[in-house]
Homo-oligomer: A and B are copies of this chain.
Amino acid sequence: MNTLNQSLNDETAISLAELFRTLGDSARIRILAALSDEEHNVSNLAALAGLSESATSHHLRHLRQMRLIKSRKEGRYVYYSLDDDHVKQLVSCGLEHVRHG
């Protein structure tokens, strides 16, 4: 078992920072929270997160590029969902710190 310090070369630190930066926006957090229950299309997500559809679309692209969410197209609609349960775990882990802090 390696220590955190041994595991974290510069390249890994950059990737890790990118991941956390992606989570570091309250709009994207609201989107992920909405997706933690069930999949939603863009319009729904925009309404749930209180964002314009354009802003939502930009955020969704960002989240997808970071492999936090995935999409599925059905007719005119594109349904987004969390990529896996690990995302939920990561957000929950942060939540614990916020509550306990």
Contacts and interface: CB of A to CB of B under 8 A. Distances in A.
Main secondary structure of the interface of A (DSSP, over half): helix
A87 to B, nearest CB: 7
Interface string A29-42: 11011101100000
Given A17-B29, A29-B16, A33-B13, A95 B7 contact: yes
- Place the interface of chain A in its size category: 35 or more
Given A17-B23, A17-B24, A24-B21, A5 B97 contact: no
A9 to B, nearest CB: 10
A25 B23 CA distance: 12
Interface of A: 3-5, 7-8, 10, 12-26, 28-30, 32-34, 36-37, 67, 86-98, 100-101
